[in-house]
Amino acid sequence: MSTPTILDKIKAYKLEEIAARKEARSQEAIDAAARSAPAVRNFSQALQSATFGGYGLIAEIKKASPSKGLIRADFDPPVLAQAYEAGGATCLSVLTDGPSFQGDDDYLVAARDAVSLPVLRKDFLYDPWQVAESRSLGADCILIIMASVSDAQALELEAAATEWGMDALIEIHNREELERAEQLKSPLLGINNRDLNTFVTDLNVTKDLSRRASEDRLLVSESGLSTPEDLADMAQYGARCFLIGESLMRQEDVTTATRRLLANPLVPQR
Ligand SMILES: O=C(O)c1ccccc1NCC(=O)[C@H](O)[C@H](O)COP(=O)(O)O
């Protein structure tokens, strides 16, 4: 038997967590909570609009990670959300996974309440029940990680997101996952530069996969991005939206750092 990867380990504890949460709240109860959540903010449209003349930034609220441990000790989600909004971020991503990222569902609720930006729930989803739970927290978009779900699960999660009026960010890291993602309808295609099992981060992943993705997808380059030069480099390959966590979380002045990152975007050649 092969050694379990980090994604295997995350999946194992998540399935236990989901079972416990479903035991505590039935489908009817979670659906009722989702129905009474604040109205959905349009995540994909916000990103699409930002790319006309600029970049779309999904700024991540991330306390810790399996690859880096603690990233930010001074961690106040509503304050960080407001700092990102003031710096010009288009959307937020909030990590809600506890065991690996020191995240919390309450962080998403508090961050979203503090701003008017659409919010991605950054977590590991396997079950449509979690999509309803994400909506009940106020999330506007969910993440579907192709490396950690089957084709059938991806379809089911996407259908649930559509049913709740939410967007889905489909995340891929290699050509095989890109091919599998083509069965999905979501316009948002996240290209993760980080291999989630080895933690190796390589911006060439965006360069390779962006050329192979169909033209109707809005590309989001994810992970390992820290400078305006990185963003311009990715934009040359057609990715004008970015998901950035660690490099911004490590800045004392998050607003200024965000503003600097987004200044002088590469203007697309006609
Ligand atoms: O960040 C990790 O170490 C990690 C490990 C295993 C699974 C997922 C992981 N991160 C999730 C992400 O995709 C990133 O938080 C996101 O793309 C932002 O990346 P970065 O700007 O490098 O913080």
SS (H, E, C) 6-51: HHHHHHHHHHHHHHHHHHHCCHHHHHHHHHCCCCCCCHHHHHHHHC
CA of 21 relative to ligand 1 center, distance in Å: 25
- Residue 270 within any structural domain of the chain: no
pLDDT in tens, 17-75: 999 999 999 999 999 999 999 999 999 999 999 999 999 999 999 999 999 999 999 99
The rounded distance, in Å, linking the Cα atoms of 55 and 221 is 11
Q: Is 269 exposed, middle or buried (0-12, 13-18, 19+ CB in 10 A)?
A: exposed
Torsion of CA 172, 175, 176, 181, to 10 degrees: 50
Cβ 109 vs Cβ 136: under 8 Å: no
- Quick one: pLDDT band at residue 2, thresholds 50, 70, 90? confident
Report how many domains make up the chain: 1
- Residue 11 within any structural domain of the chain: yes
Cα–Cα–Cα angle for 37, 11, 190, rounded to 5 degrees? 65
Q: For residue 39, give its domain range.
A: 6-262
> Stretch 153-161: mean pLDDT, rounded?
98
ipTM higher than the 0.90 cut: yes
CA of 28 relative to ligand 1 center, distance in Å: 33
Residue 245 in contact with ligand 1 by CB distance below 6 A = yes
- Residue 1 within any structural domain of the chain: no
194, 198, 230, 249: residue to mutate for ligand 1 pocket, most atoms within 8 A of CB? 194
Residue 97 in contact with ligand 1 by CB distance below 6 A = no
- Residue 60 within any structural domain of the chain: yes
How many CB atoms sit inside 10 A of residue 187's CB? 17
Q: What is this structure's pTM?
A: 0.97
CA distances from 75 to 70, 251, 261 (A): 10, 12, 21
The CATH number that applies at residue 184 is 3.20.20.70
pLDDT in tens, 187-211: 999 999 999 999 999 999 999 999 9
Burial per residue of 141-155, b for 16 or more beta-carbon CB atoms within 10 angstroms, e otherwise: bbbbbbbbbeeebbe
Residue 147 in contact with ligand 1 by CB distance below 6 A = no
Residue 243 in contact with ligand 1 by CB distance below 6 A = yes
pLDDT of residue 270: 57
Place of tokens 């490396």: 147
- Residue 247 within any structural domain of the chain: yes
- Residue 101 within any structural domain of the chain: yes
